[in-house]
């Protein structure tokens, strides 16, 4: 499944973030992109990325670094020149920060998405895959609401593209192990204080690794017709089990659910399930537009009436041992030991 990357010019917004760096490293190691453009706001992070392994030697002749903001349409016009594939990973994603700075969240997550769509069509980009979150499904906080709006914009972008070659799809998944703001580094720090704060003993979350997220995006680039929201089949975990995996002998203190948090997250609602197809390793939420009649409706299996894909009714659950195996590399990277 290399056709969508090999020989192509690939641009990653938020390219200095956790996902962006892993995605770029993966395609440079295992694929043959003609050029990779790192598009992000922070010149320091770009400098650090450029000067540290593996990016200081891996494909250094193919990486280009663009300082820019997705809010800045003229800058996107410059960056998208000659680009074939866009992976849109830039976002304001910290829930408390979005609640406290709502206008900033809208400008980046919603207006920024509109800019990506408009410029991609104007520049003739072939494929765009935007990263989403489980918080966009039946959102209760502003971050989730902006990402739901972003998802809707990217799906509708296929209507705006008209007869042009540009197609847009979305990838939606749960919490990423070890990403910036992840609970794992937080627990690793707090365990030294002798107590771990737990929001609720029954809380569950979807759990995915960076490599699984990268693999899903690459597969979605190959599968997409334009308009799908791809949802991977991933495991759930209980927050109490994660705490035990990080610090088995440390006391857990229940502190209550924070504003904007859910007890359980959801990736597919019962309303979305009416036009969702199930496959071996993923679901595809199909767009409710007339033009989707040209899509692969015969593929996959129709979801049952009332189906919901939420972190508490999942068929797949991570064991204590599996959790420890997943978080051990993050702990070692931070100089901690399990």
Identify the band that residue 131 occupies on the pLDDT scale cut at 50, 70 and 90: very high
Name the 3-class secondary structure at 287. Answer: coil
State the pTM of this model: 0.94
For 143-180, the pLDDT digits (tens) are 999 999 999 999 999 999 988 999 999 999 999 987 76
For 179-236, the pLDDT digits (tens) are 766 788 889 889 999 999 999 999 999 999 999 999 999 999 999 999 999 999 999 9
Contact between 336 and 192 (Cβ < 8 Å): no
> Is 152 assigned a catalytic role?
no
Contact between 112 and 71 (Cβ < 8 Å): yes
For 252-278, the pLDDT digits (tens) are 999 998 888 899 999 999 999 999 999
CATH architecture for segment(s) 9-174+207-233+267-303: 3-Layer(aba) Sandwich (3.40)
pLDDT at 2: 47
Instruction: Specify the DSSP element, H or E, that contains 283.
Output: strand 282-285
Question: What proportion of the chain, given as a percentage, has pLDDT over 90?
Answer: 79
Total Cβ atoms within 10 A of residue 29: 10
- Measured CA to CA, the distance from residue 42 to residue 267 in angstroms comes to 31
For 284-315, the pLDDT digits (tens) are 999 988 777 655 555 789 999 899 999 999 99
Q: Where exactly are the structural domains of the chain?
A: 9-174+207-233+267-303
Q: Which of 8, 45, 93, 135 is catalytic?
A: 135
């Amino acid at each position: 499944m290399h056709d969508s990357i090999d020989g192509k010019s690939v641009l990653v917004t938020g390219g200095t973030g956790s996902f962006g760096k892993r995605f770029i490293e993966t395609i440079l190691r295992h694929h043959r992109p003609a050029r990779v453009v790192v598009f992000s706001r922070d010149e320091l992070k770009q400098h650090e990325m450029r000067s540290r392994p593996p990016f200081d030697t891996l494909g250094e002749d193919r990486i280009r670094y663009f300082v820019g903001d997705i809010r800045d349409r003229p800058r996107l016009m410059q960056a998208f020149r000659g680009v074939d594939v866009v992976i849109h990973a830039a976002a304001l994603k910290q829930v408390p920060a979005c609640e406290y700075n709502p206008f900033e969240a809208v400008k980046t997550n919603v207006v920024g998405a509109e800019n990506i769509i408009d410029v991609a069509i104007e520049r003739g980009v072939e494929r765009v895959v935007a990263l989403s979150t489980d918080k966009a499904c039946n959102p209760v906080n502003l971050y989730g609401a902006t990402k739901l709006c972003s998802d809707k914009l990217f799906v509708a972008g296929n209507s705006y593209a008209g007869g042009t070659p540009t197609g847009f799809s979305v990838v939606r998944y749960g919490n990423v192990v070890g990403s910036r703001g992840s609970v794992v580094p937080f627990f690793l720090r707090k365990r030294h204080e002798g107590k771990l704060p737990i929001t609720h003993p029954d809380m569950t979350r979807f759990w995915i690794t960076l490599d699984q997220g990268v693999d899903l995006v690459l597969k979605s680039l190959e599968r997409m017709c334009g308009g799908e929201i791809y949802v991977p089949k991933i495991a759930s975990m209980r927050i109490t089990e994660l705490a035990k995996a990080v610090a088995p002998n440390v006391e857990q203190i229940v502190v209550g659910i924070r504003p904007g948090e859910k007890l359980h997250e959801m990736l597919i609602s019962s309303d979305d399930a009416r036009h969702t197809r199930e496959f071996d390793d993923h679901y595809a939420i199909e767009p409710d537009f007339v033009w989707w009649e040209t899509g692969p409706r015969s593929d996959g299996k129709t979801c049952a009436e009332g189906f919901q894909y939420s972190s508490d009714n999942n068929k797949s659950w991570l064991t204590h041992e599996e959790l420890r195996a997943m978080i051990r590399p993050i702990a070692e990277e931070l100089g901690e030991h399990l």
